[in-house]
Amino acid sequence: MKFYNKVALVTGGTSGIGYSVAERLMKEGAKVVIVGRNVEKGEKAIQKLKEIHSDVMYLSVDISNSNDVKKMVRKTVSSFGKLDVAFNNAGNAEGKPALTHEYSEDDFDKMMGVTIKGVWLCLKYEIQEMLKTGGGAIVNTSSLDALICSAGTTAYAAGKSGVIALTRAVAQEYGTYGIRVNALTPGAIRTPMIESKFQDLTIEQAKLLEDKYSNFNAAGRIGKPEEAAAAVIWLLSDEASYITGQNIIVDGGVSFIN
């Protein structure tokens, strides 16, 4: 029970890596608030998580909105008394890839609003509460696109690269206050974002896409959400007490063979 009597906040917590982290935290004794924009998905996630224990809450939040984020953190603290750990996992991968000269300014602003500003806002208000209780641990989700950029993903790649830089800067600022901040950079993990790429494909097309992902890394397969979650759980735990400002890559070996 590594997180017994601890309070955790997980954005993007209704599915994929975020849900797996919330589930592990609860099994390890934490009281958890999960955050996501889709209310239906949030309610389904809560029903499943309550089978572990009842100290869990769902909030619908736009993390690019300062007032929403402020209320999110305040609601967490007013409900469970404090904030010990946070996984800032919410992101924006919506929209089709587009070359820079064809990408709209509005889409760029929306992408940055969630991908980088949203993480900054979460950090801002989470840290305010952690300073009151003498410390905490935070993990921010980046992406392999921050390291291995693809054509048509300029805004997303820029935002996720910013998450890594933001993580390192904030880790420097608050290390002596007992607050650790690290980043998770996942590769191809079987999340709803990856699964959406398989929609409307024939069996043959789906196999070709699966093979493409699998042949792209040393592990020879797409990762599981719980595999990425295991890294997050370790970073949030006291076992990683001397780890801060780091970018932990969970990609099956893509980044070292490409």
Identified catalytic residue from 19, 58, 125, 156: 156
* Other C-beta atoms lying within 10 Å of the C-beta of residue 240: 18
Three-class DSSP labels, 51-89: CCCCCEEEECCCCCCHHHHHHHHHHHHHHHCCCCEEEEC
Residue type, 118: G
Strand, coil or helix: what is 5? coil
CB atoms within 10 A of CB 243: 14
Kind and range of the H or E run holding 186? strand 179-186
Our answer to whether residue 125 is catalytic in this structure is no
Q: CB atoms < 10 A from the CB of 160, how many?
A: 27
User: Is-contact 70 129, C-beta < 8 A?
Assistant: no
For residue 224, the 8-state DSSP code is: P
Which residue in 79, 39, 44, 40 sits closest to 59, CA to CA?
A: 39
The catalytic residue positions are 156
